[in-house]
Amino acid sequence: MAVQNKTYTLVKCRAVADIEKISENINITIDDNGRIKSIGSEIEGDEIDCRNYVVIPGLINAHTHSAMIALRGYYDDAELQEWLRKMWEFERSMSKDLMRISSEIAIIEMLSSGTTGFVDMYFNPEQLKELSNIYKIRVQAGYTFLDNLYDPYLIDKLQRELKPEGYFQPIINVHSIYATSKETLELANQLSKELGERIHIHVSETRREIYEVKKKTGMFPVEYLNSLNMLDRMQLVHLGWVASWEIDLIREKNAIVTNCPTSAMKLATAGFFPFKEMLNSGITVTLGTDGPASNNSLDMFREMKNAILLYRHSYWSTSVKAIDAFRSATYEGYKLLKVKGGKIREGYVADLVLLDAKRLYPLFKDRLISHIVYTATGDMVKAVIVNGNMRTKDEILERLPKLIERLHRLLNA
């Protein structure tokens, strides 16, 4: 049922759910520009029978390292600093071929599990640009400032040559404060101003990071970034150890934040992202799986659940609800991408996920968001639409077996 570049209608969707509304037995017409044209009883163009599907907006994975598929399961049982040393050791000699095949596999995994866009931090953005347009999945990626692996002036030069194209938008990646010098941060900041690109960085992930940044600069990490006049163009990932006054700074400067609950728990960082406080401040709160070597799943359904679980456990409170995680994964993700999406409304991009209605039960309207967050996994996805381009799960998975064979050959070589 692959559909592309023409008008068609999802007919009699069992349910259509976004953060604002749940409708039942309703049609969605998608126009030839990949936008939602109408929601209601209209039918136009090809008809796709959706009586067995629950339709939700596409999920945005706001933070991952797709090429680390090669490193999935490589070193799982260690804390962050030791884990990073192991990763960097491997990455120093990672071939371009291995990066590409890994990112391609990750894209197939993400798309097939309902992820319609993602933000990537790694060293292969040109490959991701090509792959994003082959697979028609929204990607933001860039070269990564990481002083012990790459000369920052080389990164600066490469990033200037990286241009947007189709489904791909460049962003500037900075690994972290602890893995870059002040000069590198200033270089990245200058570049961000010149190119108008957002800076995507790991911040306040461990207590050790807080201690070291404080010792070196006299400031907490977010305060430090603010002192460098960067905060207004930043996407801050992790924030497990952020302080309340830093949350105020984030709000003032309109920085965007990303919660990666599974990775935080798996790496025993002990921090907990202040989800509710961030929401209450009106900050744009997005959700990410982190990479396949630190999660190790790229399934955003599992991540929505874990965002709730980590918060509730850490705060002794059920004040964060299923809808909050659903909002982070959909509407807030599209804000990060600067794409009018994440709601199923006329004029929004047709980035949609068709879930198997038979697997979400008891299927009552008022239980649907709960099922999506607490019960569903990406395996319940039957088809995915990005910018109007519809693919079934089988179509998405078609190339996977060959890619895995090649991955194994490259890793054994």
Q: What tokens were used for 223? A: 């305060």
Among 24, 31, 46, 79, binds its own copies (CB under 8 A): 79
If binding is defined by CB under 8 A, does position 72 make contact with its own copies?
A: yes
Instruction: Report if residue 77 touches its own copies, rule: CB under 8 A.
Output: yes
Among 65, 200, 266, 393, binds its own copies (CB under 8 A): 266
Find all residues with CB under 8 Å of 366, minimum gap 6, and list them. none
**Which residue among 281, 392, 400, 406 contacts its own copies (CB under 8 A)?**
400
- Based on the shown chain and the rule CB under 8 A, indicate whether residue 411 belongs to the binding site for its own copies: yes
Q: Which residue do the tokens 């907006």 mark?
A: 57
Nearer to its own copies, 215 or 316 (CB): 316
| H-helix segments, 271-346 | 275-281, 300-315, 322-329, 331-337
The least distance separating its own copies from the CB of residue 311, rounded to whole angstroms, comes to 9
Q: What 3-state DSSP class applies to 152?
A: helix
Q: Which of 46, 276, 363, 392 binds its own copies (CB under 8 A)?
A: 363
Residue 310 binds its own copies, judged by CB under 8 A? yes
- Contact flag: residue 365 with its own copies (CB under 8 A): no
Residue 340, φ and ψ in degrees, nearest 5: -75, 85
Q: Is 262 helix (H, G, I), strand (E, B) or coil?
A: helix
CA distance 262 to 310: 8
**Should residue 149 be labelled a site residue for its own copies when binding is judged by CB under 8 A?**
no
Give 253 or 312: the residue with its C-beta nearer to its own copies: 312
- Beta strands 22-30; 8-17: pairing state: antiparallel
Q: Does 374 bind its own copies (CB under 8 A)?
A: yes
Q: Which of 315, 340, 345, 399 binds its own copies (CB under 8 A)?
A: 315
Binding residue (CB under 8 A) for its own copies from 321, 340, 345, 406? 321
Q: How many residues belong to the site for its own copies (CB under 8 A)? A: 56
Interface residue with its own copies, options 196, 244, 362, 413 (CB under 8 A): 362
In angstroms, rounded to a whole number, what is the distance separating the alpha carbons of residues 168 and 374? 31
Distance CA 124, CA 96 (A): 8
Minimum separation from the CB atom of position 253 to its own copies (A): 29
Beta strands in 214-253 (DSSP E): 234-238
- Sequence-separated (6 or more) residues with CB below 8 Å from residue 27: 9, 10, 11, 12, 13, 38, 39, 40, 41, 42, 43
Residue 330 burial (CB count, 10 A): 29
Selected binder of its own copies within 4, 7, 281, 377 (CB under 8 A): 377
Distance of CA 246 to the CA centre of its chain: 23
Q: Is 218 left (phi over 0), alpha (psi -120 to 50) or beta?
A: left
Given 160, 232, 270, 346, the residue binding its own copies (CB under 8 A): 270
Q: Can you give the binding site for its own copies, defined by CB under 8 A?
A: 69-70, 72-74, 76-79, 105, 262, 264-268, 270, 272, 292, 295-297, 299, 302, 306, 308-310, 312-318, 321-322, 358, 361-364, 367-368, 370-371, 374-375, 377, 379, 400-401, 404, 407-408, 411
